Structure 1
Amino acid sequence: MQFGVFTVSDITTDPTTGRTPSEASRIDAVVTIAKKVEEVGLDVFALGEHHNPPFFSSSPTTTLAYIAAQTEKLLLSTATTLITTNDPVKIAEDYAMLQHLSKGRVDLMMGRGNTGPVYPWFGKDIRAGIPLAIENYALLHKLWREDVVDWKGRFRTPLQGFTSTPRPLDGVPPFVWHGSIRSPEIAEQAAFYGDGFFHNHIFWPKEHTQRMVELYRSRFAHYGHGDPDQAIVGLGGQVFIRKNSQDAVKEFRPYFDNAPVYGHGPSLEDFSRETPLTVGSPQQIIDRTLGFRDYVGDYQRQMFLIDHAGLPLKTVLEQLDILGEEVVPVLRKEFAALKPAHVPDAPTHASLVAKAGGEKDATVYAAADDVTGQVRDEAPAAL
């Protein structure tokens, strides 16, 4: 089981102080959080993609590459890569480059985002959200697996004889998760390709999450990728932890009550009862998280949101200390003891390379230069 932290990159006023961080301070804070994730022994850090205030993360690859240069083991991912409004060609190039720079420590999660106006900002129609997600990913999948691509679709200009560069590291594309809260078409898409399915698991009751994961598992088996319980599942979740539950609830309440996403609605108690949000002691977090397996089965990745709603950096780092020292070690042990041997671990670059038969040089040594038109008689000699 992989454990990690994801951020949506919000810039939110701290309701207890009235202070709103600057973009610069939030960007610095997220880098600090990512480095702390590795320090406390967690596995994954994921960053969302947004193109509007109050979020700063318009270029996840830039941020993740910077973090990769300052970490050694941390797996870097996205909490959303907008497959609908980004050009699949640019996604293929950017994330292959990040894969090389991080020495394989990268995967990514495809999603449609939660901001409707982003579609026209990038020349797209929100009414075509699902067809865009399906067609664009089909092209991305092809770009990473075929050296020369011919393509014609509904939503972008055709490609003829196109090679995306750099080619994936060791000839193996980054692993892809498809993230969705409510769209069965995305669960179907993940199953079709044998990719991972990630359910955000924050805003909806467990029955909804259970239905979405069961759909993905059944379709994963339908397409011949393995038994339903061998499908690759990830869950999100939000926690706030203190030594005792009373202190946790008291401290977190003003942040919950004023949160841009779920504030000014159901009470903290109601929301915690009806959704996976868990505010309490380390043991309460452990018990609640272990309970997720009861309705989604054995799964491969658990991500926590801990920096939302204006929480100050100091508090977030304290949350990470508790996760790393008191919560995740117990969860690792308990989940490992429960997992059957035939259920796979979360994919990594190393495991994908081994499955593909080992490393290979995927470089395309082109026969001509598009600028000069000069043709090489043979590939350049190795240096």
Structure 2
Amino acid sequence: MQFGIFSVGDVTPDPTTGRTPTEAERIRAMTTIAEHAEQAGLDVFATGEHHNRPFVPSSPTTLLGYVAGRTSRITLSTSTTLITTNDPVKIAEDYAMLQHLSGGRTDLMLGRGNTAPVYPWFGQDIGKSVELTVENYQLLRRLWDEDVVTWEGRFRTPLQSFTSTPRPLDGVAPFVWHGSIRTPEVAEIAAYFGDGYFANNIFWPKEHYVRLIQLYRERYAHYGHGAPEQAIVGLGGQVYMARNSQDAVREFRPYFDNAPVYGHGPSLEDFTAQTPLTVGTPEQVVEKTLTFQEFFGDYQRQLFLIDHAGLPLATVLRQIDLLGEQVVPVLRREFEARRPAHVPSDPPTHASRVAARDAALAAAAAEVPSGVTSGAAGA
């Protein structure tokens, strides 16, 4: 199972000091966090994509390309790449380039985005977000899977005999997750293509996400990709840890109360009771995270949000150390002990996808009758 962290890249004042980092400081902090995550033994670093204040990661592939050059093992992903307001041609080219730069350590999570003003900034209508998602992803798949694409749709100019460059590394596109917090159509798209489904369950009660994940699993099986329990699922979460739970609550409360996403809303106690947020000891993080498998079934990727709301970089790095030393090793052992043998333990990687492609080609070649060439067979 993969464990990692994701960042929303907010530039938020530290409520305990009143100091706001500069954009340059926040961007450098994100790269330091990614490098430290690898050093701590985590599997994934993911960045969001935002085009509005107080967030800075407007160019995920630029950030991840830099991190790729400073790391050697960790998977580089997104949390979210906007499929609605980005041109599918640019997504195809940018993430294929990142594939090459990272040696295949790349996947991405596509999402609609929930910031209404962003849509008109990029010439789109939020009222058509689902239609944009469907059309743009269909085009993205073709750009990666076909060398030459001729295409016409509703939301961009037509393409005539177009080749996206560079081509995907080893001829295999990056693995795609589809992220959603409320849209059944996104679960349907993920299931149809046999892609991963990521429920970033950091806001709402678990019952909401149980329904979406169950729908995805049922449709994944319907389209012939495997049994429902073999569908590729990822989950989000939020943690803040200290040696004892009282210290954790005391230290994190001012950051929670002033967070740009949910500050000045529910109390910390109510929010932790109703969502996956865990504020306490490493042991309490382990205990609560293990319940995710009970609610959602076996899954393959767990990402934690730990660097938001103005938390100082030194504090975030200590959180990563606690994850790597005291949380993730226990979760790996416990999740794998519970997982049935026929359920994948990890999401597809570049190496596994290349191997599956090569095995399928070899199997197809073996079915050609002896003495019959492909040219003769097609004559």
DSSP 3-state at the match of 1:160? strand
Q: What are the within-5 Å matches in structure 2 for residues 69-84 of structure 1?
A: 69-84=69-84
Matched residue, 1:275: 275
Displacement after TM superposition at 1:84 (Å): 0.3
Matched residue, 2:331: 331
Q: What are the within-5 Å matches in structure 2 for residues 289-368 of structure 1?
A: 289-344=289-344, 345-357=346-358
1:70-107 per-position Cα deviation (integer Å, ceiling 9, x unaligned): 00001000010000000000100010000011000000
**Structure 2 CA distance for aligned equivalents of residues 169 and 266 of structure 1:** 46
1:328-362 per-position Cα deviation (integer Å, ceiling 9, x unaligned): 000001111111111112111111111001799xx
Matched-pair contact (CA < 8 Å) for 1:171–1:359: no
Matched-pair contact (CA < 8 Å) for 1:353–1:359: no
Matched residue, 2:243: 243
DSSP 3-state at the match of 1:197? strand
**Structure 2 CA distance for aligned equivalents of residues 93 and 237 of structure 1:** 30
Q: What are the within-5 Å matches in structure 2 for residues 1-383 of structure 1?
A: 1-344=1-344, 345-357=346-358
TM-score, length-scaled by structure 2: 0.94
Q: Structure 1 113/157 Cα, relative in aligned 2: closer, same or farther at 3 Å?
A: same
Amino acid of the structure 2 residue aligned with 1:8? V
**Structure 1 CA distance for aligned equivalents of residues 242 and 320 of structure 2:** 11
**Structure 2 CA distance for aligned equivalents of residues 162 and 310 of structure 1:** 45
**Structure 2 CA distance for aligned equivalents of residues 94 and 222 of structure 1:** 32
Aligned residues between the structures: 360
DSSP 3-state at the match of 2:240? strand
Amino acid of the structure 2 residue aligned with 1:56? V
Name the one with the larger helix percent.
2
Amino acid of the structure 1 residue aligned with 2:266? P
Matched-pair contact (CA < 8 Å) for 1:217–1:228: yes
TM-score, length-scaled by structure 1: 0.93
Amino acid of the structure 2 residue aligned with 1:148? V
**Structure 1 CA distance for aligned equivalents of residues 44 and 360 of structure 2:** 23
Displacement after TM superposition at 1:112 (Å): 1.2
Amino acid of the structure 1 residue aligned with 2:347? A
**Structure 2 CA distance for aligned equivalents of residues 216 and 163 of structure 1:** 32
Matched-pair contact (CA < 8 Å) for 1:3–1:328: yes
DSSP 3-state at the match of 1:292? helix
1:38-64 per-position Cα deviation (integer Å, ceiling 9, x unaligned): 000000000000111111111100010
Displacement after TM superposition at 1:113 (Å): 1.4
**Structure 1 CA distance for aligned equivalents of residues 170 and 309 of structure 2:** 40
Amino acid of the structure 2 residue aligned with 1:11? V
Amino acid of the structure 1 residue aligned with 2:353? L
Matched-pair contact (CA < 8 Å) for 1:239–1:304: yes
- For structure 2, the residue ranges without an aligned partner over 5 or more in a row are 362-379
Amino acid of the structure 2 residue aligned with 1:353? V
Question: What is the root-mean-square deviation of aligned Cα atoms in Å?
Answer: 1.1
Q: Structure 1 329/147 Cα, relative in aligned 2: closer, same or farther at 3 Å?
A: same
1:139-172 per-position Cα deviation (integer Å, ceiling 9, x unaligned): 0011100011011111011111111111110111
**Structure 1 CA distance for aligned equivalents of residues 280 and 209 of structure 2:** 22
Displacement after TM superposition at 1:114 (Å): 2.1
**Structure 2 CA distance for aligned equivalents of residues 140 and 338 of structure 1:** 36
**Structure 2 CA distance for aligned equivalents of residues 67 and 114 of structure 1:** 27
1:215-253 per-position Cα deviation (integer Å, ceiling 9, x unaligned): 100011111111000000000000001111110000000
**Structure 1 CA distance for aligned equivalents of residues 26 and 293 of structure 2:** 34
DSSP 3-state at the match of 1:109? strand
